[in-house]
Amino acid sequence: MALLPQLDYEYTEREVTDTFLGYDHNLKIADGAFFHTENLTTDRYPLMANRPRRGRVKALAAPGGLLGKEKLAWVEDGTLYYGGTATALTGLAAGKKQLVSMGAYIVIFPDKQYYNTADPDDYGSMEARYSSAGAVQYRLCRADGSEYQKPSVSASEPESPVNGQLWIDTAQGVHVMKSWSAVQVEWVEIPTVYTKLIFVSEGELPGLFSRYDGVTISGAAAEACNGEKVLYEVGGGDGVRDYIVVVGLLDEAMQQTEGYVKIERRVPDLDYVVEAQNRLWGCKYGVADGQNLNEIYCCALGDFKNWRQYMGLSTDSWTASVGSDGPWTGAVNYLGYPMFFKENRIHRVVVSAVGAHQITETVCRGVQTGCAGSLQVVNETLLYKSRTDICAYQGSFPTGISQALGEEKYSEATAGAVGDRYYIAMADSAGDRHLFVYDLRRGLWMREDDLPATEFARLGNELYCIADGALWTLLGSEGEREPYVSWEAETGMLYYQYPDRKYVSRFNLRLYMEEGAEIDVYLMYDSSGEWVRQGRIKMRGTRTVTLPIRPRRCDHLRMKLRGKGEVRLYSIARILTIGSDVG
């Protein structure tokens, strides 16, 4: 009797993916990860969910700079705004700004302007300049401005001196001022002699300068008064001749009637500026005043106006040259210490309580050119964009964390942080913008969309950004919120043919959807490039639904979910069927 082939009985198995792992733009990705995402978030992990609706706070004309203090500050069309109100600080140049917080003050570079948030009448330029408009008188004086009696000037000692008599000794070629001491019965050298410069400025000088300002003086007839000086006293007022006191020794009282005496308090041109330990710290690479510079600076302690105050104290300003080559690419305050970056270096300033600051150098991945805005501290971890990847730094060497972003090369990065999340907007090699979010606690990435954010600032539990000529809240706590969020998730390659003759006969998607939400499901077979829609759900109420999808047989496939409104994906179940040898 002839025997016919016997067909095996088909039976089914079920595999469930109920943990979703975010964005992974590589050829082979983990189960639960997505090759492409749009407007998704890890907030509901392990579920897949859409991001919060953003809020559009207001349109901005020519924005440039954003800062979070007790209130939000930004620059719009040359005016500083604080807490949504225009301040008296206007006339700022067009272009990108660095807004830095120091105590109650906001300092603005490269304009070198400041604004006191606690006293709206206290604002203006960090620099000051004065040029004499009339005769200038020079008098020997003490540090407080009190004038000396006229001294004698000679190479030999005056005869029959009396107590307190002054004598300028010229015997050694260097003039030294001495005072006769009747107690010691000898001439005692006065270690520091000061000169008072008296101007006809009627209160202008005291309005521009303060005691202990570090200034540059030029044009003075008394050569000892020219150069880098500290103002030990500034005085005068309306109707009174103004004066300054500097270190310098005069042979005799003088009056200058020709030329101009110029007094300048300068702030260096800085590439990047940060605040750390009650000082501003900055860096400069390039040519300034005819000199090639590769330097790091800090202002005097607690005084952002003074960058050339040298009095031999621990509170002095400070400047140091750096030997590493190449321009600076960014700066940040990390754990209380200023850090400055080049593309292949990290320079950390070890701040000393006695003013003996030191610079350390680490040869490693630094910040990519044009990505200074990517520097953000998230839960004591410093994140930034290097040339090759996005790095996490915790004090030793950086570690790459952006393997999930794939092989695409990004640039022009700027970033913000709120909670455990790092938001970074970058341009790809084609120039298209992308906004990615990294969940530091879970180690997961998401791509949100193509929002062209240029500035970020955190205020409380909200992250603000400037994009498309408007101010936005990314978590939607302020402003006119989007009516809904359109979102998308595309899986990696799903293998259809399993070992042991298994194949996928059905997908079941378990979703929670709010009223008005909708979702479309698409499948692409065998990398054909064509997405085939499998079905749609549009909710009339808020509930949980199961959407069955029956794919056709193929070697492999991809799945795309596209929808709008509030959706939570709990799981994707694959129903596996074992077929026959001949089926």
* pLDDT digits 0-9 by tens, 446-505: 999 999 999 999 999 999 999 999 999 999 999 999 999 999 999 998 765 555 556 677
* pLDDT reading at 328 higher than 50: yes
Q: Tens of pLDDT along 503-524?
A: 677 888 888 999 889 999 999 9
Share of the chain above pLDDT 90, in %: 77
At 310, phi and psi to the nearest 5?
-120, 100
436 within 8 A of 405, measured Cβ to Cβ: yes
CA 357 centroid distance within chain: 22
Higher-pLDDT residue of 96 and 548 is 96
**Res. 373: pLDDT tops 50:** yes
pLDDT tens column, 34-54: 999 999 999 999 999 999 999
Q: What is the 3-state secondary structure (H, E, C) of 508-577?
A: EEEEEECCCCEEEEEEEECCCCCCEEEEEEECCCCEEEEEEECCCCCCEEEEEEEEECCEEEEEEEEEEE
Which of 115, 51, 55, 49 lies closest to 86 in space, CA to CA? 115
Identify which of 176, 170, 174, 169 has the alpha carbon closest to the alpha carbon of residue 191: 176
pLDDT at 31 over 70: yes
Scanning 262-405, the segments in alpha helix (DSSP H) are none
User: Which candidate, 445, 443, 458, 459, places its Cα nearest to that of 410?
Assistant: 445
Report the pLDDT value the prediction gives residue 13, as an integer from 0 to 100.
80
Least confident span in 44-48, 290-294, 564-568? 290-294
Residue 287 tokens, joined: 């040519």
Return the SS3 of 208.
Answer: helix
pLDDT at residue 580 in the model = 54
pLDDT of residue 565: 94
Question: What are the start-end ranges of the E strands in 42-144?
Answer: 48-50, 55-59, 63-68, 72-76, 79-82, 85-86, 98-102, 105-109, 113-116, 123-125, 128-131, 136-141
Q: Residue 448's closest CA among 22, 96, 3, 63? A: 22
Please determine, for residue 582, whether its predicted confidence score (pLDDT) is greater than 50: no
The residue among 371, 498, 455, 463 whose CA lies nearest residue 64 is: 455
3-state secondary structure of 404: helix
State the distance between the two ends of the chain, measured CA to CA, in whole angstroms. 25
Question: What is the dihedral angle through the alpha carbons of 535, 540, 541, 544, rounded to the nearest 10 degrees?
Answer: -10
Does residue 539 or residue 415 have the better pLDDT? 415
402 near 408, Cβ under 8 Å?
no
Q: What CA dihedral angle connects 561, 562, 567 and 572, to 10 degrees?
A: -10
pLDDT at residue number 583:
44
pLDDT at 230 over 90: yes
pLDDT exceeds cutoff 60 at 581: no
Better-predicted residue by pLDDT, 202 or 567: 567
Does residue 346 carry a pLDDT above 80?
yes
pLDDT reading at 288 higher than 90 = no
Asked whether 547 and 518 are in contact (CB, 8 A), the reply is no
Give the chain's mean pLDDT.
92
Q: From CA 274, how far away is CA 101, in angstroms rounded?
A: 8
DSSP 213-249: -EEEEES-SSGGG-EEEE-SEEEEETTEEEEEEEE--
Residue 98 has pLDDT above 90, yes or no: yes
Question: Long-range contacts: 81-90, Cβ < 8 Å, 24+?
Answer: 82/106, 82/115, 82/117, 87/115, 87/120, 87/123, 88/120, 88/121, 88/123, 89/113, 89/115, 89/123, 89/124
165-182 pLDDT, tens digit per residue, is 999 998 887 889 999 998
User: Is there a contact between 478 and 437 (Cβ–Cβ < 8 Å)?
Assistant: no
Q: What is residue 504's predicted lDDT score, i.e. its pLDDT?
A: 73
pLDDT of 498 reads: 56
Let me know how long the chain is.
583
Kindly list the distances between the CA atom of residue 92 and the CA atoms of 42, 97, 120, 411, in Å, as whole numbers in the listed order. 40, 9, 17, 28
CA atoms of 215 and 213, how far apart (whole Å) = 6
CA angle 459, 463, 467 (to 5 degrees): 125
Q: What is the CA radius of gyration of the chain?
A: 35
In a 13 Å sphere around the CA of 268, the CA atoms on its Cβ side amount to 28
Please list the residues that pair with 112 across neighbouring strands. none
- Residue matched to tokens 């270690």: 191
HSE-CB of 291 using CA atoms within 13 angstroms = 8
More confidently predicted of 238 and 219: 219
